[in-house]
Amino acid sequence: MFYLLDLAGVAVFAVSGALAAMHSGLDLLGVVVLASITAIGGGTLRDLLLNRHPIFWMEDPWPLYVILGAALLTVGYVQVLPIPFKALLIADALGLALFAMSGAQLAERTGHRALVVVLMGTLTGVGGGLLRDVFTAKVPLILRQDIYASAAIAGVALYLLLQRIGVPRAVAFGVSLVGIAALRLAAVAWGLELPRFTPP
Amino acid sequence: MFYLLDLAGVAVFAVSGALAAMHSGLDLLGVVVLASITAIGGGTLRDLLLNRHPIFWMEDPWPLYVILGAALLTVGYVQVLPIPFKALLIADALGLALFAMSGAQLAERTGHRALVVVLMGTLTGVGGGLLRDVFTAKVPLILRQDIYASAAIAGVALYLLLQRIGVPRAVAFGVSLVGIAALRLAAVAWGLELPRFTPP
Amino acid sequence: MFYLLDLAGVAVFAVSGALAAMHSGLDLLGVVVLASITAIGGGTLRDLLLNRHPIFWMEDPWPLYVILGAALLTVGYVQVLPIPFKALLIADALGLALFAMSGAQLAERTGHRALVVVLMGTLTGVGGGLLRDVFTAKVPLILRQDIYASAAIAGVALYLLLQRIGVPRAVAFGVSLVGIAALRLAAVAWGLELPRFTPP
């Protein structure tokens, strides 16, 4: 379950990274590099912080194969079909939800406190996109105006809360996963924003 | 001693990060995220490099509570009172001094060489602000023109030097702590700069 | 062999970082800091990801001495002699080749798969320059249009391939080392580029 979730997250984030790279006019290897950074950046930061070695993509060849495949398929797709305008945002929302929940479960299994579970889930979810944005010299999406990291935080908190009130883990997991993706997509669709407190 | 120092550094850096986030017009969770990155970024990099696990904020809940409290208090304060113009710079100078000395002592206690003690102290001091600036897509303050990292380097070097000539550790510590903050604030106040060597 | 390679790579990357820092008008300590980040950034990321502790520059004083010496010599040189226009690019190409091969050999010796060897070699080669560019708020050179990370990837892949078909390791090493530097320099000289796949 963990494993397939991670691979699915890797795939959608690789697509997201590859689309962003092509959008910035990078060359073929730049596309693969940015797809990789986006896809394994969050999980790598999580593993470094939780001291889990070897890093998840070092022993298991699949994440890297999935990235290569997803990046090349994305490149090929874009050559023959018009780019789906919303594809980047949707792939990003799905990757966010998958990675946040997978990271949260990992931290939960290693016995960390609720606050650390929320942080690790959020970091796993937003880390790759954050590195993608830093490496293309943009202010990261997670710090911009709309709901992004907050969707992950709310989702993981919901996951922990549902379990505490007796909801079975698998149900809590599914609800939270869908919740994060839905919240993120709703924020994109209707331009939802958190309040801001700009000093006068 | 270590512990309270670290918490005090966490608090002032959280304020610094929260003010910077509000200054950039981020939303409420962006404020908390940037406050956290600024407050625990330097210590997290230090712990990763020194292979100290769990990372300091993973087992102890207090740093994260302090960040949440400091960020929310800062947001609240700014709503009702005019923002103190110099507050960001002063909080930053205090955080720099506190974190540099705390990081230096940690590296010293684990038996590292003087040069590594200086580097770890400096990294702990400047790491959070560096990440804060990277994540808001600015050239980090430490690389800009005035005295910043150099205040931390000079302070930690002074700390080691004073001990070598027989000054008691606690005195050396206090003198260096005040020295870093004073040097940084003096640099801000009078626009002190190091020489530059721009190629012709 | 490893050791001297690493020191040579540290020296040329320190020169590269110092030149870049002076080019951006940083002060003296900014020059040393950026020289250090450029010189040890890639190897530090490699050591963190491979869980090699202490980090290579923590126990051995030489890398840091070499950086200090190289940075100061660069600063001095630039005061009295005209800056060699191509020096930055050439130093960078040599550092890329040296670090990529050194990082690849390290990952190879610790028994990692070919793909991870290629990734670790590439990361060691491009990591320092990547951090240098991030910290001066530029889109990293490795993601820009010409051949950079791809030279490292091709070189390490060639190194593994040559060994697989029976070429002695030392020969494979030398050929790949020269190959990476030559490929990178050729890309600079003739403006070679990989194909790009900008969406229509």
3-state secondary structure B87-132: HHHHHHHHHHHHHHHHHHHHHHHCCCCHHHHHHHHHHHHHHHHHHH
pLDDT at position B8 is 82
Buried-state track A15-54, b at ≥16 Cβ within 10 A, e below 16: bbbbbbbbebebbbbbbbbbbbbbbbbbbbbbbbbbbeee
Whether the upstream peptide bond of residue A84 has omega within 30° of 0, thus cis, is no
CA distance to partner chain A, nearest, from residue C196 (Å)? 4
Residue B164 has pLDDT above 90, yes or no: yes
Q: Which residues of A touch B33 (CB under 8 A)?
A: 142-143, 149
Q: Do residues A13 and A129 touch, judged by C-beta distance below 8 A?
A: yes
CB contact under 8 A, B193 and C134: no
Percent of chain A whose pLDDT exceeds 70: 86
CB contact under 8 A, A25 and C140: no
pLDDT, mean over chain C: 84
> Structural domain boundaries of chain C?
2-190
Higher pLDDT, A44 or B199: A44
Distance CA B121, CA B127 (A): 10
With 0-12 CB in 10 A as exposed, 13-18 as middle and 19+ as buried, what is B111? exposed
Percent of chain A whose pLDDT exceeds 90: 34
pLDDT at position C2 is 65
Distance CA B152, CA B98 (A): 10
Give the range with max mean pLDDT: A38-52, B89-103, B145-159, C78-92: A38-52
Q: Count residue pairs from A and B with Cβ separation < 8 A.
A: 73
Which of A111-115, A177-181, B29-33, C74-78 shows the lowest per-residue confidence on average (mean pLDDT)? B29-33
Give residue C147's pLDDT band: very low, low, confident or very high (50, 70, 90). confident
Residues A109-134 have a mean pLDDT of: 87
Tens-digit pLDDT profile for residues B101-128? 989 998 998 888 898 999 899 999 988 8
pLDDT at position A200 is 46
Cα dist. A118→A109, A131, B125 in Å? 13, 19, 26
Torsion sign across C-alpha atoms B60, B65, B70, B75: positive
Chains sharing 3 or more CB pairs under 8 A with chain C: A, B
Which of A182-191, B14-23, B186-195, C140-149 shows the lowest per-residue confidence on average (mean pLDDT)? C140-149
Neighbouring C-beta atoms of residue A113, cutoff 10 Å: 15
Give residue B85's pLDDT band: very low, low, confident or very high (50, 70, 90). low
Task: Name the residue with tokens 């070189």.
Answer: C155
End-to-end CA distance of chain A: 49
Give residue A14's pLDDT band: very low, low, confident or very high (50, 70, 90). very high
Distance CA B120, CA B45 (A): 9
CA distance to partner chain B, nearest, from residue A170 (Å)? 26
Q: Which residues of A touch C141 (CB under 8 A)?
A: none
What the block records as the tokens of B19 is 């003010």
